[in-house]
Amino acid sequence: MAAEGGTVEELGGRELPPLRLERKLIREAQRGSRDALADLYAAHWSQAHRAAYLVVHDAAAAEDIAQDAFLAAVDALDRFDRRRPFAPWLHRIVVNRAIDWARREALRRKLDDPDSLAEPETSPDAVGGELMEILAQLPPEQRAVVVLRYLLEYTPGEIARMLGLPRGTVNSRLRRGLDRLRDLVEVEG
Amino acid sequence: MNEAGLRSLLREAPIPLGEDAERRGLEVVSEAFAQGRRARRSSLPRLALALAIATLLAALLLSPAGAAVRDWVGDVFTAGVPDAEPGLTEIPGGGHLLVQTPAGPWMVHPDGSRRLLGGYRYATWSPHGYFVAATSGHTLNAIEPDGTPRWSLSARAPATYPRWSPSGFRIAYRAGRTLRVVAGDGTGDALVATNVADLPPVWSPLGLGLIAYVETGAGIRIANTETGQIVGSAGALDGIETLGWTTDGSLLLEASRRSLALRRVTMSKLASNLHLGPARPVGLPDGATVRSAAFSPSGKAVAVLLGLPASAAAGLRSEVALIDTASRSPRRIFAVRGRLSGLAWSPGGKRLLTSWPDADQWIFIPTDGRGRVRAVDGIAAAFDPGKPRSSSFPRVEAWCCNQPPGT
């Protein structure tokens, strides 16, 4: 797990606090410390936002989703069990909302124009490159497990619990996602 | 690509506006946290709490930073939907509605009766409501209000966004990435522009065969559909989704998810060119998302539907506001906790219709501050009879014409 253990790890360009420090921040935030909340936010925003963006491929939606997840965290802070790490709980909200958004968007596009691709169009200039174009060609559910596994470093078992899926489904989505990415890279390359 | 390469790419792919998003998010989250703490700590009675919040708001609004949002918190505020009517038995204020559903467009008559026009995807009224232009796959069709096809035209690419000219003599539509125009009787189909962005074009209300559209990667273009010449151009808002043109031809509206702007349009003395002035942005509340925007029939106001960020205290909110086109000052006329979608002006501009899918309601909002908000329940079932509630809520395309179509 990213936040477990006593060391600081770097993920998505942002250092995550060790679990002990995180517990302290949560305890202080539960007591009303705005600074502690800001530290928690600073530690987790970047990953949450990045994960949302990599699933939805829409900057405004990713911002809304990440913001929404933090607001849900603030709302439930008093009930939060400090023995558990914060990140998986936050990421679960982010990724599930991102999947919902991507599905709705795909449906909306399909209804608007049945002849169009169900996935959003991406522009290399707008979204930062080839990876995004390739990732955009995966269904949102596959994108989500790829992001959870290879950006956020969750195990397939943890991903299964976060998404409420059988572990076999997670494994097969990962396998299909990776195969598809390899195929696409080969074709693109 | 191996797994290490994928990890590296996922971690390093640039995220647009990441730092701004982080700052905005922190402001929202921090404020929600502070409000939540205050609410939980307080043992004051409700009145005292309300006074404290009012004081906080006053302090915010009197600060220079708050000045921009001052107008957004004044005037009318209506929470929730009062006394919804159980079914669609009339259209408040009269007129006819064109409503898009997965099965196709429906016409709704003033008494609430309705008819499915056929399996079309995009539909629009003719100027007086005598016909409907609608697309289906690669075809553009003109149909009568009872659903009888009048003519049909095949395009080489998927046809979308039909728009009837104010004169009634032309229909513009998007075919693939091109903009084309055909005569109202289905003849003389001609290419007007290529590389056209995915949003509806808008005809000049002054006639002259002028039409505004967005050229992908270039900006707004105004073309003379008779000659094919570009007679006006300007940059467009990033991510533009809506274009509008006032009935007097003097203003263009541009809307993207995050911004709204008005642009003055002036015509050269010989009417051969249009000058498009600078885009003047309309101030929006922090974090607001523009879901819909449209000029009023008079052109004196823009109705805008905004989504506002969720807060721990209030949840997601939606607001409908009117923006005066002269002063660009807003006036909120309706707000709910929840997600509203779509806006349609009544033909006379006295009402706005918006949808609240989660509540299964249409909401008719008076725009002059007089009269009551009316809500109608059971909308999903009205357009999908005999079936459980559909995941796709009926979308109001347009509200037309007080005289019965076809008369």
pLDDT (tens digit per residue) in B192-208: 999 999 999 999 988 78
Residue of B nearest to A40 (CA): B26
Q: How confident is the model at residue B212 (pLDDT cuts 50, 70, 90)?
A: very high
Q: Which of residues 26-85 of B touch A (CB under 8 A)?
A: 26, 28-30, 32-34, 36-37, 40-41
Least Cα distance to B189 among B242, B149, B138, B119 occurs for: B138
**pLDDT over threshold 80, residue A113:** no
Q: Is A8 helix (H, G, I), strand (E, B) or coil?
A: coil
pLDDT of residue B93: 85
CA angle B136, B257, B254 (to 5 degrees): 80
How far apart CA B25 and CA A63 sit, in angstroms, is: 8
- Classified as helix, coil or strand, B180 is strand
Contacts B121 to A, Cβ<8 Å: 111-114
Task: Give the pLDDT score at A164.
Answer: 83
CA distance to partner chain B, nearest, from residue A60 (Å)? 8
Q: CA B273 to CA B223: how far, in whole Å?
A: 10
Give which of B73, B72, B117, B119 is closest to B98, Cα–Cα.
B117
Place of tokens 């002259």: B208
Q: Tell whether A9 lies on the interface with B, counting CB pairs under 8 A.
A: no
Q: Enumerate residues 6+ apart whose C-beta is below 8 A from B389.
A: B360, B380, B381
Mean pLDDT confidence for B81-108: 86
Query: ipTM more than 0.90?
Result: no
Interface of A with B in 70-99 (CB under 8 A): 70-72, 74-75, 77-78
Q: Average pLDDT of B223-249?
A: 93
Report d(CA B106, CA B384) in Å as an integer.
Answer: 11
If phi > 0 it is left, if psi is from -120 to 50 it is alpha, else beta; for residue A12 that is left
**Cβ proximity of B394 and B99 under 8 Å:** yes
Terminal-to-terminal C-alpha distance of chain A: 33
Ranking A111-115, B352-356, B383-387 by mean pLDDT, the lowest is A111-115
B10/A contact by beta carbon, under 8 A: yes
Measured CA angle at B135 (ends B364, B348), to 5 deg: 30
Q: What is the mean pLDDT of residues B241-262?
A: 94
pLDDT, greater one: A120 or B101: B101
| Averaged pLDDT of chain A | 77
If contacts are CB pairs under 8 Å, which of residues 144-163 in chain A contact chain B?
146-147, 150-151
What confidence score (pLDDT) does residue A184 get?
63
φ, ψ of residue B331 to 5 degrees: the values are -140, 115
DSSP B330-363: EEEEEEEES--EEEEE-TTSSEEEEEEGGGTEEE
Is B199 within 8 Å of chain A by CB?
no
For residue A187, give both structure tokens: 């074709």
For residues B272-286, give the mean pLDDT: 88
Q: Please tell me the predicted confidence (pLDDT) of residue B278.
A: 92
How much is the pLDDT for B391? Answer: 56
Residue B106: the pLDDT is: 93
- Using CB atoms, pick whichever of A53, A67, A75 lies closest to residue B15: A53
Mean pLDDT on B332-355: 91
Pairing of strands B251-256, B260-267: antiparallel
For B82, residues 6+ apart whose C-beta sits below 8 A from its C-beta are B372, B373, B375
Report the C-alpha gap between B273 and A145 in whole angstroms: 54
pLDDT on residue B294: 96
Residues of chain B neighbouring A12 (CB-CB closer than 8 A): 11
Residues B261, B281 contacting (CB under 8 angstroms): yes
Distance, in Å, from the CA atom of B183 to the CA atom of B140, rounded to the nearest integer, reads: 12
B145-191 pLDDT, tens digit per residue, is: 888 889 999 999 999 999 999 888 999 999 999 999 999 999 999 99
Q: Of A42-46, B111-115, B267-271, B293-297, where does the model show the most confidence?
A: B293-297
Which of A139, A159, A152 lies closest to A57, judged by CA? A139
Q: Output DSSP code: residue B397.
A: E
Q: How far is B304 from chain A (nearest CA, A)?
A: 18
State the average pLDDT over residues B248-273: 87
Look at A63 and B21 and tell me if their CB atoms are within 8 Å. yes
Q: DSSP characters for A90-101?
A: HHHHHHHHHHHH
pLDDT attached to residue B328: 83
**pLDDT over 60 at B73, yes or no:** no
- Cβ pair B247, B296 in contact under 8 A: no
- Angstrom distance (rounded) from CA B321 to CA A170: 45
* HSE of B149, CA atoms in CB hemisphere, 13 A: 13
